[in-house]
């Protein structure tokens, strides 16, 4: 099992929500039925229908009517749900969520694309992705609703639903033509899990180069990529830190942005600081800051889940987590323990290559050590998914985007070229962080 929507423990779920699950491998379509995918209110089954995506990676339960308000529901996929190889789930997978009091009538919107609109030099082996502002109905994301064209000629490819529930991916059958402009388009038949369609069709264009990118597909940050520092509970500075780019905090209020001596703008949409080359946004600032931050936090969480859920690593338990002194080539790396950087590390590859580092422990970098780039590698394509704490020692230098389940700390004199995206807090102790070049 890769993910569920609503997630386990989710609250304020819309009354008209559908319930979906994304699997880590293709499932036997005939095994995904109302007998193997159940939604219950207490011990009472909810009446509804079950449909699976054509690729067997997704399944969706559609209630026959709106769910009861302010009520706990439980979703269950039983061991009779089988993979295409015939093996059932090892145990029943069960999760719970609580409804709110209203139905969701807000249309979804496209919050980010990869390649970006009018992007150039796109690798010819690129996958084309769109990230949405909310979880989408996987059955509405298909070749008829998500197309890529070279002029008027359709590009052959497959459409899949991202593991986070908020992304759709178009994978071309063959490499794209070099030095050519393509247009990707989403129709108004694309819907979210509450049945709301895109308000209008959405399209964007990009131009390929001639290079082939190495490594996994990049992690889509959505609007979380608009911030160099983003956190949920607190962002603190020991003056004077330096932040180049925008900061955001939500659901915490501006009072949890400490040490920056913030000055509110006359509009109260954002604040400024002598330590900040950019703007600071908080959940209690004026419209549109709260809604923008809610989307950005959701996109950050989705990006974390995407990075953490990438399968089939190229490198597993490399150097048992002590990566000091290594040169790291493009690829997917996985550790089930803490990763330490006690001596300098080089990340070597081309400008379109991608690195994803997964760790279920902490990420700790010793004082005075450096992560450096070689061969054209770019910080924007380096993703560090950290389930524990992230600590960069005094006067160290780091490259890449950190997606942390907990906190990120830059100690005195530490510098970072990348983004600090934390699901708790970010602490800057007379440190400097700069957003990566686009």
> pLDDT confidence of 29, banded at 50, 70, 90?
very high
**Radius of gyration for the chain, computed over Cα atoms and rounded to the nearest angstrom:** 22
For 151-172, how does the pLDDT look when each residue is reduced to its tens digit (9 = 90+)?
999 999 999 887 777 889 999 9
Measured from the Cβ of residue 54, the count of other Cβ atoms closer than 10 Å reads 14
CA distances from 437 to 244, 355, 377, 384 (A): 11, 16, 11, 17
Query: Comparing 53-62, 246-255, 329-338, 347-356, which segment has the lowest mean pLDDT?
Result: 53-62
Q: One fold for both 3-99 and 110-208? A: yes
What integer pLDDT is reported at residue 1 of this predicted model?
65
For 374-431, how does the pLDDT look when each residue is reduced to its tens digit (9 = 90+)?
999 999 999 999 999 999 999 999 999 999 999 999 999 999 999 999 999 999 999 9
Answer for the pair 69, 24: CB distance below 8 angstroms, yes or no: no
Answer for the pair 131, 167: CB distance below 8 angstroms, yes or no: yes
Strand partners, 97: 10, 73
Residue 246 has pLDDT above 90, yes or no: yes
Secondary structure letter of residue 413 according to DSSP: T
pTM listed for this prediction: 0.79
Answer for the pair 159, 53: CB distance below 8 angstroms, yes or no: no
Residue 224 has pLDDT above 90, yes or no: yes
CA distances from 258 to 6, 18, 434 (A): 33, 40, 19
Instruction: Give the integer Cα–Cα distance in Å for 9 and 1.
Output: 16
Domain ranges of the chain: 3-99, 110-208, 222-434
What integer pLDDT is reported at residue 291 of this predicted model?
87
Instruction: Give the integer Cα–Cα distance in Å for 112 and 109.
Output: 9
The topology under which CATH files domain 110-208 is Immunoglobulin-like (2.60.40)
Residue 361 has pLDDT above 90, yes or no: yes
Query: Comparing 136-140, 234-238, 279-283, which segment has the lowest mean pLDDT?
Result: 136-140
Burial string for 214-251 (b: 16+ CB within 10 Å, else e) reads: bbbbbbbbbbbbbbbbbbbbbbbbeeebbbebbbbbbe
Secondary structure letter of residue 241 according to DSSP: -
For domain 3-99, the CATH architecture is: Sandwich (2.60)
Percent over 70 (pLDDT), the chain = 100
For 88-143, how does the pLDDT look when each residue is reduced to its tens digit (9 = 90+)?
888 999 999 999 999 999 999 998 888 989 999 999 999 999 989 888 999 999 99
For 301-353, how does the pLDDT look when each residue is reduced to its tens digit (9 = 90+)?
989 989 998 989 999 999 999 999 999 999 999 999 999 999 999 999 999 99
For 174-217, how does the pLDDT look when each residue is reduced to its tens digit (9 = 90+)?
999 999 999 999 999 999 999 999 999 999 999 999 999 999 98
Residue 147 has pLDDT above 90, yes or no: yes
């Amino acid at each position: 099992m890769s993910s569920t929507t609503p997630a386990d423990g989710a609250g304020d779920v819309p009354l008209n929500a559908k319930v979906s699950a994304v699997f880590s491998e293709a499932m036997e379509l005939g095994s995904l039925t109302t007998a193997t995918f159940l939604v219950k209110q207490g011990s009472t089954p909810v009446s509804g229908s079950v449909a699976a995506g054509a690729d067997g990676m997704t399944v969706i339960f559609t209630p026959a009517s709106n769910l009861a308000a302010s009520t706990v529901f439980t979703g269950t996929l039983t061991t009779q749900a089988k993979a295409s190889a015939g093996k059932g789930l090892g145990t029943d997978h069960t999760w719970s969520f609580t409804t709110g009091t209203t139905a969701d009538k807000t249309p979804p919107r496209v919050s980010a694309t990869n390649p970006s609109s009018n992007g150039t030099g796109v690798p010819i082996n690129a996958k084309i992705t769109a990230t949405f502002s909310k979880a989408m109905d996987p059955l509405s994301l298909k070749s008829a609703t998500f197309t890529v064209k070279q002029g008027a000629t359709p590009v052959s490819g497959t459409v899949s639903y991202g593991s986070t529930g908020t992304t759709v991916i178009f994978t071309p059958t063959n490499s794209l033509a070099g030095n050519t402009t393509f247009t990707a388009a989403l129709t108004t038949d694309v819907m979210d899990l509450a049945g709301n369609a895109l308000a209008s069709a959405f399209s964007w264009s990009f131009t390929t180069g001639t290079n082939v990118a190495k490594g996994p597909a990049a992690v889509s940050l959505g609007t979380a990529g608009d911030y160099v520092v983003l956190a949920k509970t607190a962002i603190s500075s020991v003056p004077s830190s330096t932040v180049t780019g925008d900061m955001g905090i939500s659901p915490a209020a501006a009072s949890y942005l400490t040490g920056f001596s913030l000055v509110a703008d006359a509009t109260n949409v954002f604040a400024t600081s002598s330590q900040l080359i950019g703007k600071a946004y908080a959940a209690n600032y004026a419209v549109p800051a709260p809604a923008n931050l809610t989307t950005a936090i959701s996109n950050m969480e989705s990006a974390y889940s995407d990075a953490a859920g990438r399968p089939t690593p190229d490198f597993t338990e490399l150097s048992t987590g002590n990566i000091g002194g290594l040169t790291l080539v493009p690829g997917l790396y996985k550790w089930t323990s803490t990763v330490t950087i006690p001596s300098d590390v080089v990340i070597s590859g081309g400008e379109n290559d991608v690195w994803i580092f997964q760790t279920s422990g902490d990420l700790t970098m010793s004082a005075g050590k450096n992560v450096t780039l070689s061969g054209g590698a770019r910080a924007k394509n380096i993703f560090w998914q950290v389930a524990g704490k992230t600590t960069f020692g005094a006067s160290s230098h780091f490259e890449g985007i950190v997606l942390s389940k907990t906190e990120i700390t830059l100690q005195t004199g530490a510098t970072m070229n990348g983004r600090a995206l934390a699901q708790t807090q970010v602490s800057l102790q007379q440190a400097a962080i700069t957003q990566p070049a686009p």
